Structure 1
Amino acid sequence: MTTRPAIDVRPITEADIPDWTRALHTGFLRSPAPTQEEIDSRTGYLLAHRTQGAFDAGRCVATYRSFDQELTVPGGHQVPADAISNVAVTATHRRRGLLTRMMTQDLTAAKERGDVAATLIAAEYQIYGRYGFGPATSMTEWTVDVLRTGLDARRLTPDDGGRIDLVDGEDVRKLGPDLHERLRRAQPGAVSRDDRWWQVNTGVVHLDRTPWVEPFYALYRSPSGEPEGLVSYVCDDTWHDKQPHDTAQVNWLIATTPAAERALWHYLCSIDWVTQVKSGWRAPDDLLPLHLPNPRAAKATTSQADWLWVRLLDVVRALEARAYDGVGALVLEVADAAGLAGGRYRLEAAPDGASCTPTGASPELTLDIADLAALWLGDESAVRLAALGRVREERAGAAQVADALLRTSRRPWCPDMF
């Protein structure tokens, strides 16, 4: 009987990047061999102390990366977050605790660093709840049947006096960051983007073997000339019986005002040859259908799916950072198997501010840290979770109090994949 050698989990070095990237591709079932361009690109931005690998006999078999992020909470305040990405374990090394080891090291460091929460986009639903993550935002994708929208094809310009111009990648890199900052500071669930995001999404930096296809970019300016919206989209080239049936696929759309959002959707539905518009990932209560004379022209192709997952690392700062529309108090018993943020807390909230303090008072609502994360940004309902047995009322009506305090009038939304 042979003894299996221990697998080394550690931060990677620059020399590890080719092997680490190969393991990442393998875990995501992509062609294993990375290009030199991708290796060079990753060498320039990976933070060695935040990028982990698991090595078996010197070969990388699992990957993990985190980086700094800001997350917007209800009320517009931004909190520091530990964004987690590139999590992959090679099929031959599953169920050996490699992700647990990497996750534990990273979350412990994030708490010591002072991050309020950790975030990720979960490829698989069942993995991350055991690490204290809860689904905190959702998304919906829409497909618009252009011919059924009821829009007047003769009116191709915004009816509010604004204008739409096609721009190029250089314009996007100049104007996009400010537009996104304005959006994300007003949108709970939105996260920060760095310069690299704009480089990747305008073709300056390539990360995979797929040839870069330059998208179209359309910019909306208000009647005063202020940039208020920007959309990136691509079109296919589909014909049936000598008739065009093109689809405009939205990569991303930023709008800082309802007028800009409306103008951009109307523009996309007015492009010659386009008979279908696919929205990309949008908020679950997105206004897109209601911007159309006939909302039934927009069909939810993904009616609702979990998107941003959150793991709270500091309950006090998390609950004090966000805004509350109502007035009330609640004692929460928060269970955290990892020992990072559990405890009993008294939340006192009002529109002019909130306080959250450890307390010895009797709990009114008992829940896991993952379920508190799902409630934190205002999307989930404590009453719903109580019906599922995931939240326990220690005082009758406590779940309704939680909903009155935590739920928001518009649902949180994260526009980004990371």
Structure 2
Amino acid sequence: MSLEVRTIGDSDLPDWIRAMHTGFLRPPSVTKEEIEVRRAGTDLERAQGAFHAGRCVGTFRSFAQRITVPGGASVTADGISNVTVSPTHRRRGLLSRMMERDLRAARERGDAAATLVASEWPIYGRYGFGPAAWVTEWEVEVARAGLDKRYAGPADGGRVDLVDAAAVLRHGPGLHERLRATRHGVIDRSERWWRLATGDIPVPGNTSWTEPYYALYRSPGGTVDGLLTYTADEVWDGMRPLNTAAVHGLIAVSPEAERALWYFLLSVDWVTKVTSCYLAPDDLLPHLLPDPRAAKVILQSDFLWFRPLDVPALLEARTYACPGSLVLDVGDPWGLAGGRFLLEADPQGASCTPTKRPAELSLGVGGLGSLYLGDESAVRLAALGRIGEERAGAVRRAELMLRTARRPWCPDLF
């Protein structure tokens, strides 16, 4: 019997969820409650399944996403998630079939790019994705940080308040949009995202969720400029507390807010260690401390992968560090975004048009995906043989134009 790849319907959802659990090595059981929660957050027209003998053996889902690009504008992206192939049906081209169907539909819709968080490095490069934003997790030894445990609040006259989930639902979405307007790589969060994050909607398949602590930073003028979400364990060595506070999220739209929230958490009684959430690799955290060596990296990894679908729209949407022009020859084996393009940029904007001029740089669409958000170095990719310099000086020019002062950051797993 042949393998079928198709859009799923309501009746397929229980089997589709079971297949997804199987692919992610989770218990395969599916509850009625999980079906209801997942159905409410799934656009079935953008959910695919691979079927063999009436059984789902592969899953794939996409959704509408907005991602901020260098300069503060945002573009529409095809966010991809829930990608699995059952271990009994690997190496049969199922992921390739689902991916191609989705990307072609995204291109027809007018999405400028596709994004995903890769579980394994070798998989997605062959589909035109490139690693575009990285994350770092830190562990801070409180006793070594050099902070005074008598800390009594922000030195700038602001304040930190512990609040409940209702306050987070009021203040969080607007705060996140302020962050997204200034930090490239950040993606939008729906109302559903916030309801899941605060326990207002149960997280599908998560039976261990407990309410975290929420702390808001208010500026001296009373504006909410920061939100910290954390939990704490309870560990004692005899009569000595050895508790760890784990940060699950931190939004700060000013350095003062970021400093105040970290100092607050590091001053909590009984906390001897703090672990961070996914932070940008150039986060301020270690250097906010009197002794930065109190913080050590416990994870540094590629995170957001980016796949261009409309090269002119993408290159015209972002800003550039300096004026210049480049002729890019972009290769795309699926014919979705390839071609030769003239990019002309200055501080007032950019234009990108198809051209017949001789190429100055040649690269695959995945290489452009890695360069686009400003994190990767054109010089490094050239040294690795992943882009070709067809005209002397073009790599250096690309380096100067495309790199950004701050590294892109995507704090959200999806």
Q: Is the counterpart of residue 330 in structure 1 residue 326 in structure 2?
A: yes
Other-structure match for 1:233? 230
Matched letter for residue 330 of structure 1: L
The structure 2 residue matched to 1:6, chosen from 2, 8, 20, is: 2
* Post-superposition offset of 1:338: 0.8
Matched letter for residue 170 of structure 2: K
In 2, Cα distance between equivalents of 1:119 and 1:49: 18
Other-structure match for 1:252? 249
Deviations 1:308-352 (A, max 9, x none): 000000000100000012011111111000100000111111111
Does the CA-based 8 Å contact 2:312-2:352 persist in structure 1?
yes
Q: Is the counterpart of residue 91 in structure 1 residue 84 in structure 2?
A: no
In 2, Cα distance between equivalents of 1:195 and 1:365: 42
Give the RMSD, CA atoms, in angstroms.
0.8
> Unaligned regions of 5+ residues in structure 1, if any?
none
Other-structure match for 2:217? 220
* Post-superposition offset of 1:45: 2.1
In 2, Cα distance between equivalents of 1:329 and 1:190: 27
Local SS of the residue matching 1:373:
helix
Does the CA-based 8 Å contact 2:141-2:273 persist in structure 1?
yes
Local SS of the residue matching 2:248:
strand
In 2, Cα distance between equivalents of 1:341 and 1:43: 32
Question: TM-score w.r.t. structure 1 length?
Answer: 0.98
- The residue correspondences of 1:9-408 to structure 2 (distance < 5 A) are 9-206=5-202, 207-302=204-299, 304-408=300-404
Local SS of the residue matching 1:409:
coil
In 1, Cα distance between equivalents of 2:91 and 2:164: 47
Local SS of the residue matching 2:119:
coil
In 2, Cα distance between equivalents of 1:211 and 1:250: 17
Deviations 1:375-410 (A, max 9, x none): 000000110001001111111221110010000011
In 1, Cα distance between equivalents of 2:168 and 2:342: 46
User: Which 4+ runs in 1 deviate beyond 4 A?
Assistant: none
Does the CA-based 8 Å contact 1:35-1:209 persist in structure 2?
no
Local SS of the residue matching 2:278:
strand
In 2, Cα distance between equivalents of 1:89 and 1:169: 37
Aligned length: 413
Does the CA-based 8 Å contact 1:229-1:253 persist in structure 2?
yes
Matched letter for residue 210 of structure 1: T
What percentage of aligned pairs have identical amino acids? 59
Deviations 1:123-175 (A, max 9, x none): 11110000000000001110011111111111231111011111111111111
Matched letter for residue 410 of structure 2: C
Deviations 1:177-204 (A, max 9, x none): 0000000111100000101111111112
Matched letter for residue 220 of structure 2: P
Local SS of the residue matching 1:199:
helix
Local SS of the residue matching 1:349:
strand
Does the CA-based 8 Å contact 1:229-1:254 persist in structure 2?
yes
In 2, Cα distance between equivalents of 1:83 and 1:397: 35
In 2, Cα distance between equivalents of 1:209 and 1:325: 44
In 1, Cα distance between equivalents of 2:206 and 2:169: 23
In 2, Cα distance between equivalents of 1:183 and 1:209: 28
> Unaligned regions of 5+ residues in structure 2, if any?
none
Matched letter for residue 380 of structure 1: E
Deviations 1:186-224 (A, max 9, x none): 110000010111111111222114222110001110011
Deviations 1:270-309 (A, max 9, x none): 000001110110000000011111111111112x310100
Local SS of the residue matching 1:203:
coil
Does the CA-based 8 Å contact 1:216-1:232 persist in structure 2?
yes
Question: TM-score w.r.t. structure 2 length?
Answer: 0.99
In 1, Cα distance between equivalents of 2:320 and 2:206: 47
